[in-house]
Amino acid sequence: MRCPFCSNEDTQVLDTRASPEASSIRRRRKCPACDKRFTTYEHVDLKMPRLVKKDGSRTEFARDKLVGSMMLALRKRPVATDALEGAVARIEEKLRSLGEREVKTSRVGDLVMRELAKLDKIAYIRFASVYRSFESPEDFREAVQEVKSKKRRK
């Protein structure tokens, strides 16, 4: 693994941990040349289904886009990076387990909403406001009531 700081090709692995779902491996590394530390992740490279957008166009699944949109919703919220990684891994696993070659983006959005509801209620509301195209304060009120009713059922 090449060091991202000095491009040295010889790095040491200090620590290796499997994710709770055992779908990825986290490695903590150190570069002997510049003495910097960094983290790498190994993921199984399985074929993800293509995504079908609302307009009918198709695109490849992009993990970075998924993480980015979830991080935007979770911005300044007390959610650990490991929790976010676990949620993304569950979404990817669910998409793979569907066994379909193509999946509508609305289905991915629903999976994200479900995971955000487990992680953080405020992030859920933030994501829902964009995903569902809220246009009035009443839309927010309904989403908050939805979160409150789910909380009571547990």
pLDDT at 151: 59
Contact 50, 105 (CB under 8 A): no
pLDDT at 103: 94
Per-residue confidence band for 154, with pLDDT thresholds at 50, 70 and 90: low
Residue 31: other Cβ atoms inside 10 A? 21
What average pLDDT score do residues 11-15 get? 95
The domain locations on the chain are 1-44, 46-153
What average pLDDT score do residues 82-110 get? 91
What average pLDDT score do residues 83-111 get? 91
**Pairwise CA distance, residues 102 & 22, whole Å:** 25
pLDDT at 73: 92
pTM of the predicted model, to two decimals? 0.64
